[in-house]
């Protein structure tokens, strides 16, 4: 049998108190962050089914053809070049951050947008793209496939 005793002085009591306070703060902060990560831009990030991916895109007012025009496997690079840095800036502006997924394999889903404002042939030229990792949306954009096209966040021009 071992017996351990210590003399509690002011420094020990303050140190133990600070450790307990830090643990208490972490107990509230970590669950809060987990809840935040389940949605971005006010909509669920679940992407286990095509219906969930469509609901995410439609949340931003885009009508899309129900089946993706392209599904491809991608690898998010370990080192971002200028293109990925710019793309990630779009993602950060809407609450995503691809830098957390460097080196990870993901899937890219591309849907034809049928109601893009000011584009008469939007079904042929405008795409809503989602990047999915572990059945969760980790990035998204809307772009034109035309040579002089555009790319922006899903919530571009949206106020709420």
pLDDT higher at 62 or 34: 62
Residues 116, 112: Cα–Cα separation, whole Å: 10
Reported residue count of the chain is 160
Q: Pinpoint the alpha helices (H) of the chain.
A: 10-37, 50-58, 82-93, 122-125
pTM over 0.75: no
Residues 99-110: pLDDT tens digits? 999 999 999 999
pLDDT of residue 60 exceeding 90: yes
pLDDT at 123 over 90: no
Is the confidence at residue 74, as pLDDT, over 60?
yes
Cβ-count burial of 69 within 10 angstroms (0-12 exposed, 13-18 middle, 19+ buried)? middle
Instruction: For residue 67, give both structure tokens.
Output: 């089946």
Q: Please state, in angstroms and as integers, the Cα–Cα distance from residue 89 to each residue in 33, 72, 74, 94, 134, following that order.
A: 21, 22, 19, 9, 22
Distance CA 118, CA 19 (A): 58
């Amino acid at each position: 049998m071992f017996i351990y005793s210590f003399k509690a002085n002011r420094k020990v009591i303050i140190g133990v108190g600070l450790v307990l306070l830090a643990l208490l703060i972490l107990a509230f902060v970590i669950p809060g962050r987990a809840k935040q990560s389940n949605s971005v831009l006010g909509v669920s990030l679940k992407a286990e089914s095509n219906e969930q991916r469509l609901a995410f895109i439609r949340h931003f007012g885009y009508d899309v053809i129900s089946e993706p025009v392209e599904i491809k496997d991608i690898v998010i690079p370990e080192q971002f070049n200028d293109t990925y840095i710019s793309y990630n800036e779009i993602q950060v502006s809407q609450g995503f951050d691809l830098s957390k997924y460097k080196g990870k394999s993901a899937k890219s889903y591309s849907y034809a947008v049928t109601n893009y404002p000011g584009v008469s042939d939007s079904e042929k030229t405008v795409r809503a793209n989602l990047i999915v990792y572990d059945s969760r949306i980790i990035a998204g954009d809307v772009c034109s496939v035309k040579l002089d096209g555009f790319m922006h966040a899903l919530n571009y021009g949206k106020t709420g």
